[in-house]
Structure 1
Amino acid sequence: MTAVGIGASLPSTVVDETGAEIAVGSVERIIPLDGDLAEVVFALGFGQQVVATDVSATYPPAADALPKIGYQRDLAAETIAAHAPTLLLATDIAGPPEALDDLRRLGYPLVIVPNEATPDGAGRKIRAVAAALGIPDKGETLAAEVDAAIAAAALRADADIARPRVLALYVRGAIAQLVLGQASNTHWLIEAAGGVDVGAAMGVQDSAPISAEAILAAAPDVLLVPAAGLATVGGIDGLLDIGGLGQTPAGLHRRVLVYDDQLLLGNGPRTAQLLAQLRDDLATTWSRSP
């Protein structure tokens, strides 16, 4: 049976990232529990079926304008159920687990999709979302395009050329001031753009609190920060007041690169454009070295 007007072959059963078999009968009322997933759903042509998004969904503007269900890490089953979804899409970031369990008990199909912080992650995410929507062929087409664009944008740095040391940060006022490490999406982006990920070099796996002593010893050349987080600390001046950031080479020369949160921290259809921009911005910023 094909869902009228949107080309999805349903009902179907998909095996999600957890290994669970999820029966999907309708995609008429979709709620992505993650900004990246909302972007993927819209990119696959199912934006009109999305009835709500979480607050991390800022792109496309149509996703940002929809009713909000809260934040992906702090969800409430009652808020989501109020929108009568026929399909929920999430990554391993979604939580708390009790809220997800409640949604499953209420009978809502909840599909967990891959969330790999790798060059292949965007393509895998797109394929998994498309499978849940009942359009695997369309998903394969988009994923292949994104994979190829990421490969084309990647820079293979010459080992004989000095590479800028880039420190990726996640800040939310005084509540969260973290160094991002190897498990973050920023890690592979920095490396593919020709930089050295300082967080990973410091031994940070996921994230760790900013330590002035460790930051000064690491001596990053460039800081990489999500835009919304930067605003919570008062912009670049406020950022450089945190820990030892202002005394690093990056801080002393105000070498700070800022990108949209969803674009930088996720891994979706626009990742290739981000990688190309980061590569160019690193080259321009690094050229300002004394």
Structure 2
Amino acid sequence: MMRRPLFGAACALLTATAIGLSSPARAGGPVVRDAHGRDVMISDTSRTVAVGGAITEVLVALGFEQRIAGVDSTSTFPPEAVKGKPNVGYLRQLSAEGVIGLNPTLILAMDSAGPKQTMQALEAAKIPLVSIPETFTEQGLLDKIRLIGHAMQADAGATCLANAVAQDFDQLRQLRAKISKPARVMFVMSLVNGQAMAAGRNTAANEIIELSGGVNAIDGYDGYKTINDEAIVAAKPDAVITIRRSRDSFEADAFYAHPAFALTPAGANRAFLAMDGLYLLGFGPRTPAAARDVAAALYPQLAPQAGSFSPKAASADCRS
């Protein structure tokens, strides 16, 4: 599978400028251009609320766990860093009062955070709010790290972490080069009343499938949609992937017992993989490692090479 290589240093600089990383600093702190094209001036990062698991992971990797005043429910890693932190609820169902009640000096939130009324209330409260773009690509992840680091006045640490993640993507690319026949993979978000909600194009699931050397068995639509049994059989997935959740999980037993999945190569080979949702779809620093784990499951012959994949992001010391 041919994939676009990571941009070089010159192109990365142009990208950084486009998202505001090189905005001139004003008295008191940097100015950050966020996902909505807003220039946000940041003067105090001592009480930062992180809304989005990937944001929290990056903050901890940069050494800012003591500045995290609160997190959302998707922020589950590292467990020792988020344990005991005030929780403002699910990323898309935030309460303005819950966030403001933490007296934050800065809010870093994924662009999908909501609802809209809550985000408008937070802006009206005059708390610096930076919306982080959700671009499910290699370059998008590197840009995310740099943007978060710039907001925290930790450009050197962010460059360190982005470089480590880029090296992990390089290792992943070498692993993918050994795949001769890409597997057809279906990502199922949920199975309710026998109907599967599957990921199409322009989703984190689609990108993780491609990063792991597979092809999405569902390519007729964007986003996540419920599909019928005929569509499941027609997709002919070689493997099915899902996320583990505390409730409403799509379990292996339900997959094996489903009449439509039973008629697919995935059902015949009992090729079912469930992984932690943040690890698999969060698009944080661990994403290359997650894609490696998926590749090892899809292609058992790659297990020896996958075992030698040593994530640089996990060992890099990029703390400020």
Fold shared per TM-score above 0.5: yes
**Contact between 1:180 and 1:186, CA under 8 Å: does it hold in 2?**
yes
Displacement, 1:157?
4.6
Q: Is 2:122 aligned against 1:103?
A: yes
Report SS of the residue matched to 1:124: helix
Match of 1:268 among 266, 270, 284: 284
- Kindly provide the amino acid, as one letter, of the partner of residue 204 in structure 1: Y
Displacement, 1:194?
1.9
Displacement, 1:253?
2.4
Aligned pair in 2 of structure 1 residues 39, 82: CA closer, same or farther (>3 Å)?
A: same
Displacement, 1:195?
1.3
| 1:43 counterpart residue number | 61
Q: Is 2:38 aligned against 1:16?
A: no
| 1:94 counterpart residue number | 113
Displacement, 1:241?
4.6
- Distance in 1 (CA, whole Å) between partners of 2:276 and 2:153 is 30
Which whole-Å deviations, capped at 9, do the CAs of 1:206-229 have from their partners, x for residues lacking one? 111132110111110100111117
Q: Is 2:142 aligned against 1:126?
A: no
Displacement, 1:64?
4.7
Displacement, 1:275?
1.8
Q: Give 1:1-290 correspondences, 5 Å limit.
A: 10-61=28-79, 62-154=81-173, 155-157=175-177, 161-171=180-190, 177-200=196-219, 203-228=220-245, 232-233=248-249, 235-241=251-257, 244-284=260-300
Q: Which runs of 5+ in 2 are unaligned?
A: 1-26, 304-320
- Kindly provide the amino acid, as one letter, of the partner of residue 49 in structure 1: R
Which whole-Å deviations, capped at 9, do the CAs of 1:110-145 have from their partners, x for residues lacking one? 101121111222211100101111111211121111
User: What is the TM-score normalised by the length of structure 1?
Assistant: 0.87
Aligned pair in 2 of structure 1 residues 240, 52: CA closer, same or farther (>3 Å)?
A: farther
Displacement, 1:240?
4.1
Displacement, 1:146?
0.6
Aligned pair in 2 of structure 1 residues 175, 247: CA closer, same or farther (>3 Å)?
A: closer
Q: CA RMSD in A?
A: 2.4
Which whole-Å deviations, capped at 9, do the CAs of 1:21-68 have from their partners, x for residues lacking one? 111111111111111111111111101111211111111102254221
- Distance in 1 (CA, whole Å) between partners of 2:261 and 2:107 is 40
Aligned pair in 2 of structure 1 residues 286, 43: CA closer, same or farther (>3 Å)?
A: closer
Displacement, 1:174?
5.7
- Distance in 1 (CA, whole Å) between partners of 2:212 and 2:249 is 27
- Distance in 1 (CA, whole Å) between partners of 2:191 and 2:257 is 14
Which whole-Å deviations, capped at 9, do the CAs of 1:45-93 have from their partners, x for residues lacking one? 1011112111111111022542211100111101111111111111221
**Contact between 1:114 and 1:128, CA under 8 Å: does it hold in 2?**
no
Report SS of the residue matched to 1:70: coil
Displacement, 1:204?
2.4
- Distance in 2 (CA, whole Å) between partners of 1:148 and 1:51 is 31
| Worse-matched range after superposition: 241-250 or 211-220 | 241-250
Displacement, 1:256?
0.8
Aligned pair in 2 of structure 1 residues 29, 176: CA closer, same or farther (>3 Å)?
A: farther
User: What is the TM-score normalised by the length of structure 2?
Assistant: 0.79
Report SS of the residue matched to 2:69: coil
Q: How many residues align?
A: 275
- Distance in 2 (CA, whole Å) between partners of 1:165 and 1:248 is 11
Which whole-Å deviations, capped at 9, do the CAs of 1:150-196 have from their partners, x for residues lacking one? 1221244578x332111011127569942112211222222232211
